[in-house]
Structures are given as structure tokens and as C-alpha cells.
Amino acid sequence: MADKLKDAKIVFVVGGPGSGKGTQCEKIVAKYGYTHLSSGDLLRAEVASGSERGKQLQAIMQKGELVPLDTVLDMIKEAMIAKADVSKGYLIDGYPREVKQGEEFEKKIGAPALLLYVDAKAETMVKRLMKRGETSGRADDNEETIKKRLDLYYKATEPVIAYYEKRGIVRKINSELPVDEVFAIVEKAIDELK
Ligand SMILES: Nc1ncnc2c1ncn2[C@H]1C[C@H](O)[C@@H](COP(=O)(O)OP(=O)(O)O)O1
Ligand SMILES: [Mg+2]
């Protein structure tokens, strides 16, 4: 039922791999009661389920490539509807990766009220991901895949930010700062939505 999402507060959370999206989303969930949907986590859960779709996804993700648009969007929408009755809003983490993904999202689900642009330097992201890779068990937290993901990120996502910049909903967050200082900036952006 798409109606369930008619008045949903939607926040796109965009930034490079390792920029700190997941870290900030966790804090928003705790303070504001939003539902955090990471397209990467949804996809990894599908892989872990061992389904046929999961096996196809795994092959794509291991190469550091993007998963087909319809697949990601279907999974996000299902997850949003499942939480519609209890959620104060939605954090769409790691999506859209391309302008076309944003357009499709808006057609099928709804318009974002805010785009949080979690911004860190490339060298900072590499450092954080290498460290995360020591414990995360993520197949894509290795040096070679990290470089590919960063390349892809800059090519695909910068146009996304420019696109929403024109609509005046982008808030750029300096994620070079310590986690709590980053969150103080994030809080201001979320508070403005009320
Ligand atoms: N502001 C910050 N300062 C230092 N480390 C941070 C940070 N934000 C996140 N981290 C750490 C936590 C993780 O080990 C790693 C990647 O963070 P993440 O939240 O998983 O990033 P993303 O979800 O954008 O890929 O960096
Ligand atoms: Mg993440």
C-alpha cells in the first residue's frame, strides 16, 4: 500500500563509503525515532538469506558495481511500508547513488524533505574503511574495492548532490569532525524539519 507513505518524512543520506552515514543515522534513530534503511544493509541481508536474488547480488557487489535500480527500490519500499505505523520518518542511507535513482524513488515512493550530505575527504574515508575492514567482515572493505567504490562514488553521486542542491534541500555536514560534533550539525538540520 503506497498510501501508507503519503505523508512520510523522507531524508536522503548521501556521502562516500566510510564518510560516517551509518554512524550518524544510528544517532538520529536513537534521538528522533526515525527508521534507518541502508540500501547496502538491505542488499547484504538478501545475500545472507541465500536466495537466488541474493546470489546474483553478491556477484555484483563483490566487484564494487551498482545493483539494478528496480531491485534496490523494491526492497526499500517494502521495508518502508513495514515500518509505516511506528516510524517518525525515514533515513534512506546510501541512496540515491545516481540522479536516475532519485527520480525513480520520487515517482514510486515520495519526495525527500532533506538531503544530508555527509562529507569527508577521500583519504579520511579510505582510512576509516580500512580500519572497519579489520572487524566488519564486509567483502568490499578491502583496499582494491575501496578505491573502486570511491571512484564510482565521485562520478555518480556528485551529480545527485547538484540536482538536489537546485531544489534547496541539501545540508552539507562536515564529517571530518568527531562523531558528536558531526551530530550537533545533523541535529540542527533535522530540527528544522519539524
Ligand atoms: N566522525 C567520525 N570520526 C571518526 N570515525 C568515524 C566518524 N564517523 C564514522 N567513523 C568510523 C566508524 C566506522 O568504523 C567508519 C565508517 O563509518 P560508517 O558510519 O560505517 O560509514 P558509511 O556508513 O558512510 O560507510 O568510520
Ligand atoms: Mg553504511
When computed from its CA atoms, the radius of gyration of the chain, rounded to whole angstroms, is 16
Q: Does residue 138 belong to any structural domain of this protein?
A: yes
> Which residues make up the environment of ion ligand 2, defined by Cβ < 5 Å?
21-22
* Predicted structure pTM score: 0.89
Q: What is the mean pLDDT of residues 42-61?
A: 92
**By alpha-carbon position, which residue is closest to atom 8 of ligand 1?**
20
Tell me: pLDDT of 94 over 90: no
Number of domains in the chain: 1
* Residue in 39, 93, 128, 182 to alter for ligand 1 test, most ligand atoms within 8 A of Cβ: 128
Q: What is the mean pLDDT of residues 95-114?
A: 93
Q: Does residue 1 lie within any of the structural domains?
A: no
pLDDT confidence bin for 64, thresholds 50/70/90: confident
Q: Establish whether residue 184 lines the binding site of ligand 1, counting it when its CB lies within 6 angstroms of any ligand atom.
A: no
Q: How many CA atoms lie within 13 A of 2 on its CB side?
A: 8
Closest atom of ligand 1 relative to the 179 alpha carbon: 1
d(CA 81, CA 5): 7
* C-alpha span between 189 and 114 (Å, rounded): 8
124 touches ligand 1 (CB under 6 Å): no
Is 23 touching ligand 1 by the criterion CB < 6 Å? yes
3 domain residue, yes or no: no
ipTM for the predicted complex comes to 0.96
Domain membership of residue 118 (yes or no) is yes
**How remote is the CA of residue 93 from the centroid of ligand 1, in Å?**
13
Tell whether the model's pLDDT for residue 12 goes beyond 70: yes
pLDDT per residue as tens digits for the range 160-192: 999 999 999 999 999 999 999 999 999 999 999
Distance CA 16, CA 155 (A): 11
In angstroms, the Cα distances linking 117 to 71, 91, 92 are 24, 12, 12
Backbone angles phi, psi at 169, to 5 degrees: -110, 10
Tell me if 17 CB under 6 Å of ligand 1.
yes
Which range of residues forms the domain containing residue 26? 10-192
Q: Classify the C-alpha dihedral 135-139-145-149 as positive or negative.
A: negative
In a domain, 62, yes or no: yes
Ligand 2 midpoint to CA 24 (Å): 9
Residue 98 has pLDDT above 70, yes or no: yes
Over the stretch 107-159, which tens digit does the pLDDT of each residue have?
999 999 999 999 999 999 999 999 999 999 888 888 889 989 999 888 888 89
Residue 184 belongs to domain with CATH number? 3.40.50.300
b/e per residue 50-69 (b: at least 16 CB within 10 A): eeeeeeebbeebeebeebeb
Residue nearest to atom 26 of ligand 1 (CA): 128
For residue 20, how far is its CA from the centre of ligand 1 (angstroms)?
4
Q: Say yes or no to pLDDT of 85 above 60.
A: yes
**Ligand 1 centroid vs 132 CA: distance in angstroms?**
8
